[in-house]
């Protein structure tokens, strides 16, 4: 009985295993196996080639190349564009009569001259020339009621020995400022003006006056 039943039992078991359908886990395991064997870790790092970076110069060239070329109409419009306005220097007129020496000889002038003694020589030269500028404008344009001049209104004057060149001066009168240019030379004693040439310009607009920092109140009229 044991010898006869043994082989039949084993055969049944084998048939049963062959006929059994695989489970879901077994199918997944089979599919994972079919997908390919796992890669073995050899311990060696395989470097990855870096992505080439675009330099700023190359990027600018690419952006410039993508811009449309200017047309003939654009070029013609740029050629006809007006040039920025520049303040032209007026021609200076030589003064035939000088007033500083005589004015400073008066009682008020002597007091002014005493105040100038407190300043350094260069400042004294500039103040003498400013004084002459006011007197010249008063004589030629009395309606302006000139009362104060600034040699450095637009830019600093140029001093060379006893001479002053002020291309960016301004003069104040009756609440208004006017452009002024002058060339002046004083005496060696620094007591008067020996030569003077000037040109009075146009009125300085309020925005320009504010930009230059020129005071708006009356000054010495």
What pLDDT sits at residue 71? 72
For domain 93-212, which architecture applies? Roll (3.10)
Rounded Cα–Cα distance for residues 135 and 141 (Å): 10
169 or 3: which leads in pLDDT: 169
What pLDDT sits at residue 18? 41
Helix, coil or strand: residue 212:
helix
Rounded Cα–Cα distance for residues 89 and 104 (Å): 30
Report pLDDT digits (tens) over 198-218: 999 999 999 999 999 998 765
Helix, coil or strand: residue 168:
strand
What pLDDT sits at residue 205? 95
Rounded Cα–Cα distance for residues 139 and 134 (Å): 9
Share of the chain above pLDDT 90, in %: 42
Rounded Cα–Cα distance for residues 212 and 204 (Å): 10
Contact of 169 with 182, CB cutoff 8 Å: yes
196 or 83: which leads in pLDDT: 196
Contact of 187 with 209, CB cutoff 8 Å: no
143 or 45: which leads in pLDDT: 143
Contact of 123 with 131, CB cutoff 8 Å: no
The number of residues in the chain equals 221
Rounded Cα–Cα distance for residues 133 and 171 (Å): 8
Domain residue extents for the chain: 93-212
CA atoms in the 13 A half-sphere facing the CB of 152: 7
40 or 178: which leads in pLDDT: 178
Helix (H) or strand (E) holding 25: helix 24-34
Share of the chain above pLDDT 70, in %: 58
């Amino acid at each position: 009985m044991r010898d006869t039943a043994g082989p039949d039992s084993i055969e049944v078991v084998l048939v049963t295993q062959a006929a059994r359908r695989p489970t879901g886990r077994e199918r997944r395991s089979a599919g994972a196996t079919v997908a390919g064997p796992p890669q073995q870790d050899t311990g060696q790092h395989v470097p990855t080639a870096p992505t080439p970076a675009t330099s700023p110069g190359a990027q600018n060239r690419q952006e410039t190349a993508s811009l449309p070329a200017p047309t003939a109409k654009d070029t013609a419009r740029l050629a006809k564009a007006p040039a920025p306005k520049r303040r032209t220097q007026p021609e200076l007129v030589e003064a035939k009569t000088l007033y500083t020496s005589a004015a400073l000889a008066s009682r008020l002038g002597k007091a002014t001259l005493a105040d100038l003694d407190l300043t350094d020589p260069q400042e004294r030269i500039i103040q003498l020339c400013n004084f002459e500028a006011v007197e010249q404008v008063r004589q030629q344009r009395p309606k302006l009621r000139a009362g104060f001049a600034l040699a450095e209104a637009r830019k600093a004057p140029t001093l060379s020995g006893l001479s002053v060149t002020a291309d960016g001066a301004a003069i104040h009168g009756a609440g208004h400022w006017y452009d002024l240019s002058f060339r002046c030379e004083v005496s060696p004693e620094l007591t008067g003006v020996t030569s003077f040439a000037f040109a009075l310009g146009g009125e300085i607009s309020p925005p320009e006056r504010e930009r230059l920092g020129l005071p708006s109140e009356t000054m010495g009229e």
